[in-house]
Structure 1
């Protein structure tokens, strides 16, 4: 009997990856949704007896989607597929009725284990690209290419958030990454979530491997720094300039390190890191960025606005790739799709 399977993710690249992971022997009819509202509509139409659900989406995220499924008693078995695998995120979704979690990118062995565990499928695990997935050649679709970059960073963002959550014992709110390909002198206009009127401090770390290079920056508004010092609970009286710098460096190393490790794993490269450097403290963001990026013409700028709402803390991770790195990144992503 054919099982209606629904894949809900705002990323077309991620939806395709999930569809390709479904074993050939499982008799399924696959439908797709770009957000939770679309998913709910399809479930009501009988298109989602089983759903693979992302967490961070526009319109309606995964949490709200599960709330609606539970409140309306909809018949749908949900497996969460997300880059955000913080313990609190997992527990919250399990409490709402999700069966289990799969970490992005898809682990086929984990998928098969869950399908067998819940009696959904127990046959051969071989999976190839299904005909129902778009055969559009992604090399010639710039929107698809940007979507692939966004999904790459989404996974890395989740890994970094998970590491920071473990260190701080706090839930980290994760956004949808903002990805733009722009001229370097337009960067200040693309960084929409950072209040450029405030004074900020920033730490930068460069990275390179296999012709792929870039720079990662962690940016703190000055108003958040004291709250971060308190949260880190350093063994010292008072909150002087030295402790503020130590907090900035510690958080930056955790975020950047975890993010680059996740990027390395997805691209099958091993990045060499430069030593982190303090770009500046208590300065305008425009000044920091213009001083640092004048050597690049066109860049891919990825902005990730992390937040710890319970502590009124927010900070940004900015990943910057020069134009010559973008094609190399995408080539590796497409090669992985063909494996």
Structure 2
């Protein structure tokens, strides 16, 4: 975990600004798709172990039922994954916004999850890559769980990495009960390159 601890306040501020721009672009794309106003939180950046993330998500209760999707990305020595965690109360309003008229069964919810994920992940990761002058390759999105506890979502991660740099932002839709957290997780092995990119931008 040595490299990841070298994150200075300047690095954190720079990364927060990069993320803010990228996640704002993603929020704008989602707002246009759903024709509604998207409320964004300020990005929260922290070094965490997988078991810490569930407790740290400020807007979701650990006992809430949630659904989640993740997508890996890699490029130029940086690897990580994006995760989207939805509060399960979001599905009915999300279906209305996406004009989905069929029965809202598990398959339909999965489609809504994937559609929203594709918009947010695509715009956000592209926005980050462009600002640090890199190109990412993406894995296929994968459902982490549907209607499970928050802690169960992160159980799978416990063996994948010890600590990572986690950037969290909360998206809410004005006037609707839609609440989701987007996480960008960058592993310790990526941090040398990330810090060099941030140093270049800070010069």
* TM norm. shorter chain > 0.5: yes
- In the alignment, structure 1 residue 264 sits paired with structure 2 residue 129: yes
Say if 1:149 and 1:330, in contact at 8 Å, map to a contact too. no
Q: Determine which structure has more spread, i.e. the larger CA radius of gyration.
A: 1
2:146 match: 281
The CA distance in 1 between the partners of 2:145 and 2:103, in whole Å, is 22
The alpha-carbon distance between structure 1 residues 268 and 303, as it changes in their structure 2 partners (threshold 3 A), is same
2:120 to 242, 250, 255: 255
The CA distance in 1 between the partners of 2:138 and 2:80, in whole Å, is 10
The CA distance in 2 between the partners of 1:327 and 1:191, in whole Å, is 26
Say if 1:304 and 1:316, in contact at 8 Å, map to a contact too. yes
- In the alignment, structure 1 residue 233 sits paired with structure 2 residue 99: yes
Deviations 1:101-123 (A, max 9, x none): xxxxxxxxxxxxxxxxxxxxxxx
- In the alignment, structure 1 residue 162 sits paired with structure 2 residue 28: yes
- How far the C-alpha of 1:195 sits from its partner, in A, is 1.5
Say if 2:68 and 2:143, in contact at 8 Å, map to a contact too. yes
The alpha-carbon distance between structure 1 residues 192 and 294, as it changes in their structure 2 partners (threshold 3 A), is farther
What is the aligned length? 198
1:122 match: none
Unaligned stretches of 5+ residues in structure 1 = 1-139
- In the alignment, structure 1 residue 335 sits paired with structure 2 residue 183: no
The CA distance in 1 between the partners of 2:108 and 2:85, in whole Å, is 16
2:168 match: 303
- In the alignment, structure 1 residue 142 sits paired with structure 2 residue 8: yes
- How far the C-alpha of 1:141 sits from its partner, in A, is 7.0
- How far the C-alpha of 1:275 sits from its partner, in A, is 0.4
1:57-206 pair list within 5 angstroms: 142-206=8-72
The CA distance in 2 between the partners of 1:278 and 1:333, in whole Å, is 31
The CA distance in 2 between the partners of 1:215 and 1:258, in whole Å, is 14
Q: Taking structure 2 as the reference length, what is the TM-score of the superposition?
A: 0.92
The CA distance in 2 between the partners of 1:187 and 1:141, in whole Å, is 18
The CA distance in 1 between the partners of 2:7 and 2:128, in whole Å, is 22
Is the partner of 1:310 in helix, strand or coil? Answer: coil
1:224 match: 90
- How far the C-alpha of 1:315 sits from its partner, in A, is 0.9
Q: Taking structure 1 as the reference length, what is the TM-score of the superposition?
A: 0.56
